[in-house]
Structure 1
Amino acid sequence: MTATDGNGADFITVGAGDDARQIAIALQPAAAGNALAHFVWLGGYRSDMTGTKAIELAALAARLGTTCVRFDYSGHGASGGAFVDGTISRWLEEALAVIDHAAKTLGTRRMVLVGSSMGGWIALRAIADLARRKDIAVTGLVLIAPAPDFTSELIEPNLTEAERTALAERGQFEEPTPYGPDPNIYTRKLIEDGRDNRVLTGVIETGCPVHILQGMADPDVPYGHAVRLMEHLSGDDVVLTMIRDGDHRLSRPQDIAKILEAAEALARAQ
């Protein structure tokens, strides 16, 4: 089911009954006759489709004449649903629903997934699902400061006793963040679901070229995490670009330029 609000934003319904939520999407169609792969933006934890990198990717798509698909996970941006209900499985379901909707609406079958931080984890989970199907082809992955398995690899090992107690007693804990006035919220259901969605457990087969961009000054996802991910992508054509002074956001003009260069190269690849 698709709906449109008064501002022209599109929404699709994902889930049924009490689990139904309205997911906001932005579909930017391709120019007539354009054969380039299109872009699907997969944002990070608590980010939305109006962020700098997402908007710059849409602008690149417009210059190339190809399609760009952006959306907000439930509990993020313009989408419905409560943030605290979010899990990797839930957000993955929404990403796949958006991909299917774009394919049906715009007829786009070849895509480059561009995942930022948690979006990199969602991208790796999505490509595993899409590989079992034959109707959509992922021709490339751009992973920006990717954070696969961040709940089990980066959060759980560093929990304080107070945070463990809060998870056990309240089902969540809060953590200050430099990216906004509101703290990050991590729930027990997110962490438990994260264990079921791990990808750093063996060889990751994407079947397409992968370009990872990672800041070496990233305080949230250590650059060693990107190196480890590259080792798990042992069967793929992988490029790892380390940006010595890059932070987690990688939103400076020079960072954006590198991201767009990688995305364009993969969109043009045959």
Structure 2
Amino acid sequence: MSTTPAEPTFLTVDGDRIALRHRNGRTPGVVWLGGYRSDMLGTKAETLDAWAAGHGRAFTRHDYSGHGESGGAFADGTISRWLAQSLAVFRQRTVGPQILVGSSMGAWIALRMVQELHKAGEHERLAGLLLLAPAPDFTAELMEPQLDDAQRRDLAEKGYFEEHSEYSPEPNIYTRALFEDGRANRVMTGVVDTHCPVHILQGMDDPDVPYTHALKLVEHLPADDVTLSLVRDGDHRLSRPQDLAMIVSALEGLVARAAELQR
């Protein structure tokens, strides 16, 4: 049996047609939140879907607008826009407690979802967070300090700049709107009260997100329920067989922890 539904279903959010795949199963379910320019059919998402299928666990994933099978223009995307889409998928396609698994930028989306769900009184929907090579606040923390004069000029005059991608033949595009909106969505400015277990996996050979960023993130999370696992030779993708096994193990630990807390 295929681990992936053959075709996605769609949800319209603020005019954007968002593609998603949902597997019914037991709770706590798992919600996948991908990274910048990634899609829901990547290695890590497929691995988690296969795990969910084998354990009868609910699993939900989607593509942000401008990504994968979703509609909309990539250049129109911002953290606020992708956050709204993720919350809509979460609220309309999942039931009961969920573990959010956020990869790279998806970890930023996950942390913002935590804040919005708590604000709305929906904290009981959160059973745990698994953050992979987390890149919260990456526009302000990791990119802006490194921008050269040409990139700053392009942002000011053209509204965007392009950068070579290590993962795609197409260049990455970063817009002025993304940077401005990113500042409004920063999470590493104070304590992020998750009120649920958090496990962070971070490669120490990550060329995109230094492991010191994960260490800094831990300072903003409640210290009594956070685990940080550093993978000495791990890169940003964390998609090698040994990385995938570690991700599954961490997820199983969060599922077990959620079961303990429900007793």
Give the TM-score category using the shorter length. over 0.9
Distance 2:156 2:255 in 1: 45
1:38 corresponds to 2:29: yes
Residues 115, 122 of structure 1: 8 Å contact kept: yes
**Count, aligned residues:** 252
Residues 194, 222 of structure 2: 8 Å contact kept: no
Which residue is 1:110 aligned to?
97
1:154 corresponds to 2:145: no
Residues 11, 22 of structure 1: 8 Å contact kept: yes
Cα deviation, 1:14-57, whole Å, max 9, x if unaligned, reads 01xxxx11000001111xxx3x3000000000000000000001
Q: Which runs of 5+ in 2 are unaligned?
A: 1-5
Residues 203, 235 of structure 1: 8 Å contact kept: no
Amino acid at match of 1:170: K
TM-score (norm 2): 0.93
CA displacement at 1:100 relative to structure 2: 0.9
Paired residue secondary structure (2:37): coil
Cα deviation, 1:82-107, whole Å, max 9, x if unaligned, reads 0000000000000000001113xxxx
Paired residue secondary structure (1:37): strand
Which residue is 2:45 aligned to?
54
Which residue is 2:88 aligned to?
97
Q: Which runs of 5+ in 1 are unaligned?
A: 1-6
Amino acid at match of 1:23: I
Which residue is 1:171 aligned to?
159
TM-score (norm 1): 0.91
Q: Percent of aligned positions with the same letter in both sequences?
A: 58
Which residue is 2:12 aligned to?
13
1:127 corresponds, among 114, 120, 123, to 114
Cα deviation, 1:122-154, whole Å, max 9, x if unaligned, reads 000001111233455111000000000000001
CA displacement at 1:8 relative to structure 2: 3.3
Of the structure 1 ranges 230-239 and 176-185, higher mean CA displacement relative to structure 2 is found in 230-239
1:29 corresponds, among 24, 37, 41, to 24
CA displacement at 1:63 relative to structure 2: 1.2
